[in-house]
Amino acid sequence: MKRLAKFVEYILFALAVVSLTPCFPARSSAEIFKYVDKDGVIHFTNTPTSGQSTAVSLPPLNQANFQKFFPAYPSFQYYQSRSLYPLSSLPNQAQYDPHIRMTCKAYGLDCNLVKAVIRAESGFNPQAVSPKGAMGLMQLMPGTSRDLGVLDPFDPMQNIDGGARYLKMMLDRFNNNLDFALAAYNAGPEAVQKHGGIPPFDETQIYVKRVMDFYNRYRY
């Protein structure tokens, strides 16, 4: 039952994103497909990627369903208004732009991508701490911080430098496949390697779509 609830939550999130299509590039789609691989793992995609892919019927995004799965928002209309805010509206965002640009130039990254990751990870809050212990702007885990030589993950400059380097490592590892690299940033490269792509984790599936939505909006 818990797994079913998570699935419905993911589908409702997808429908919410679809309903905002005029504000997003063509990546958002009105259709979601699923297929089961040889290991019995269910995959969700926005295009049919297998001969066994079948279209998933999206449940109605009514007020009752939205409040059930997104209790943090008083209504779907409120969610829409928050989602349509300009990406430049966050109070801390502009002050980090110079360091983001400098860091991305050093590591050969698109600064819009790094900004999208920061937006999704912490909302540009340098003191953010996740329930799992990830810290700072780019939400570095303690072990990752140590491996990257980040002494203070709450220092914005160190965090951006470490997070950008880690993102670059994931892009190199997965041959610049952006979806795979983002999934690896969220779930770890081993999980992406094991599943041969984006792992079938609700959190990771949603994370990749969310970052890509931000990325496309920053670019355009």
pLDDT (0 to 100) of residue 68? 58
Mean per-residue pLDDT, 121-125: 92
Q: Does residue 13 carry a pLDDT above 80?
A: no
Mean pLDDT of the chain: 79
Q: Which of 9, 121, 190, 203 is catalytic?
A: 121
Over pLDDT 70: what percentage of the chain?
Answer: 67
- Residue linked to tokens 């979806």: 179
Q: Residue 45 pLDDT > 90, yes or no?
A: no
Q: What are 185-208's pLDDT values in tens digits?
A: 999 999 999 999 999 998 999 999
Which pLDDT band, with edges at 50, 70 and 90, does 54 fall under?
A: confident
pTM of the complete model beyond 0.75: no
Q: Does residue 219 carry a pLDDT above 70?
A: yes
Instruction: Please report the pLDDT score of residue 61 as a whole number.
Output: 54
Mean pLDDT of all residues in 171-186: 97
91: pLDDT strictly greater than 80 = no
**pLDDT value for 47:** 72
Active site residue 190: no
